[in-house]
Amino acid sequence: MKRTALYLRVSTLEQNPTNQRLDLQQMAAQRGLEITEIYTDHGVSGARAKRPGLDQLLADARRGKFDVLLVWACDRLARSTRHFLEVVDELNRLNIEFVSFRENLDTGGPLGRAVVVIISAIAELERNLIIERVRAGMRRAKLEGRHIGRRPLDVDRAAILRDRARGLSLTEIARLHRISRALASRYIKDAQATSHKGVLQPPHQVIESMEPESTV
């Protein structure tokens, strides 16, 4: 007899998973399956990928504790197609059959495996369509002259260099101009590098490029 696990889930504490368990026990008996593990998530939404019962189920699956997983319905295992396929795919890699009572889906047979492949293909198509819609929106925004992404920082670099020439530390400059200390340091180093290449600089920038950087 194949070692079989049951997974039960109800979304609220007021609900009871007993009906799910009875249906799955009857199915196991009809198929000659031995129930060795029962995992339950009580009052947990299927939208959550991390659930105590499901996490323990997957951990035991990797340890080879059962050969078949029975669930009452696919949405008891996962609400999103992506998460459902991820779980079923891992079970397949572990050579564990997945059986759903309501949908009569059984990955142990050719029809069940074909259905999973079709669901996977539809999910992949959906992801690609979403990506293409996003790209089309970005292209349209670019053609319309709308900015995409973060707005560039409105930073007065000359003022930063003047403050540095006055002896302000990088921390003080960053706080004064509302930028990060790393960004203030980069602006100053860029000015120093430009000065070293022989490009004519305003007097305050020349002074700054000659002054050693403070370690404060």
Active-site residue list:
11
Beta bridge partners of 7: 39, 71
The closest alpha carbon to 187, from 149, 153, 216, belongs to 153
HEC sequence for 65-110: CCCEEEECCHHHHCCCHHHHHHHHHHHHHCCCEEEECCCCEECCCH
Residue 25 backbone phi and psi in degrees, to 5: -65, -40
Q: Within 13 Å and on the Cβ side, how many CA atoms surround 193? A: 6
**Which strands form 105-106's sheet, in the order they lie side by side?**
34-42, 3-10, 68-71, 97-100, 105-106
The closest alpha carbon to 96, from 135, 57, 130, belongs to 57
Rounded Cα distance, 111 and 107, in Å: 8
Contacts of the segment 10-17: beta carbons below 8 A, 24+ positions apart: 10/41, 10/42, 10/43, 11/43, 11/44, 11/45, 11/46, 12/43, 13/42, 13/43, 15/43, 17/42
